[in-house]
Amino acid sequence: MRTSPLHAVAPITTAAPSYLPQADEVSLFEQTFAARLPLLLKGPTGCGKTRLVEHMAARLGRPLITVSGHDDLGAADLTGRFLIEGGDTVWVDGPLTRAVRSGAIFYLDEVVEARKDITVVLHPLADDRRQLPLDRSGELLEAAPGFMLVLSYNPGYQHLLKGLKPSTRQRFVALSLGYPEPQLEARIVQSESGCSVEVAQQLVRLAQALRRLTDHDLEETASTRLLVMAARLQAGGMALPQAARAAVIEALSDDAQTLAALAEVQHAVLGGR
């Protein structure tokens, strides 16, 4: 058995992606990293959780390995598996194993979407052991200096079958993020899209109006990410109402009546159709 050289760790990014803090999340992230503790990010879709992790990895000078949670993601997908390569049996490290060996920041986005068996490998890394047991290869890895485990999920989107167990949640320092205050959100939209101040402010007003809706069964509301997408379309030459309809309104629902109601809100805020 030999180890495959596949899946090299991504190089350290030299320039930190832009991030405008909402509160003290940058300091908390730095202190959590310095204390060698794991971090749990909680917040709605598109509020900046992933951008915060990308920014902090570059700021701290650590490589970043990111995995998105999904229904088929299990422990073996994170740790690795044996494969047949050129007639040999080859152990191929998974992304979590690569992060543990190299001292990278490992970010598992939407952890509750993954299969429950991943807790078997996450728990030993989320306490003082900082170890990764590889049952299939017989190794017990000690996390290299610089390794950090970061998970994220959206509490408002979960139901009883997809919650985060207290036994997992209580192993982490927790940080809640929401949508930024209007003035900061407008700055983010403008910075990320290159649109004018006026357009950014209009889109934020639209988002605030949509977020106040309580009589429509929306799984998610208008995120900062959607506002940036609309602003980029507008900056590229599309009329703002059409850009908002395509990037924001249509992304929120497939129901015709709900879309009509959302479009009325857009018309009231932005005008046009």
Domain count, the chain: 2
CATH number at residue 122: 3.40.50.300
pTM: 0.88
Which carries the bigger pLDDT value, residue 77 or residue 161?
77
pLDDT at residue 28 tops 90 = yes
Residues 225, 164 share a domain: no
pLDDT tens by residue, 112-144: 999 989 999 999 999 999 999 998 888 899 999
Domain's final residue, options 121, 148, 176: 176
Place of tokens 């915060």: 52
Q: Report the alpha-carbon distance of residue 23 to residue 156 in Å, rounded.
A: 21
Query: In Å, how far from its chain's centre is CA 201?
Result: 25
Residues 160, 88 share a domain: yes
Helix (H, G, I), strand (E, B) or coil at 208: helix
Residues 191, 172 share a domain: no
Residues 131, 47 share a domain: yes
Domain's final residue, options 176, 196, 224: 176
Q: What is the mean pLDDT of the chain?
A: 90
| Domain carrying residue 120 | 2-176
Q: Pairing between strand 131-134 and 139-142?
A: antiparallel
pLDDT tens by residue, 81-115: 888 877 788 888 999 999 999 999 999 999 999 99
Average pLDDT, integer, range 202-206: 98
Residues 127, 10 share a domain: yes
Residue 33's contacts (CB-CB under 8 Å, 6 or more residues apart) are 56, 60, 148
Domain's final residue, options 112, 142, 176: 176
Residues 142, 17 share a domain: yes
CB-CB contact of 104 with 146 (8 Å): yes
- Cα→Cα distances 151→13, 101, 108, 203, Å: 20, 18, 5, 30
Query: Which stretches within 10-133 are classed as H helix?
Result: 25-34, 49-60, 75-79, 95-102, 119-122
Residues 151, 17 share a domain: yes
Residues in the chain: 273
Residues 155, 93 share a domain: yes
Residues 17, 151 share a domain: yes
Residues 114, 65 share a domain: yes
Residues 120, 22 share a domain: yes
Residues 159, 36 share a domain: yes
* pLDDT at site 82: 85
CB-CB contact of 89 with 82 (8 Å): yes
Burial class (CB in 10 A: 0-12, 13-18, 19+), 167: exposed
Average pLDDT, integer, range 165-182: 93
C-alpha angle 58-61-67 in degrees, rounded to nearest 5: 60
CB-CB contact of 126 with 39 (8 Å): no
Other beta carbons less than 10 A from residue 200's beta carbon: 23
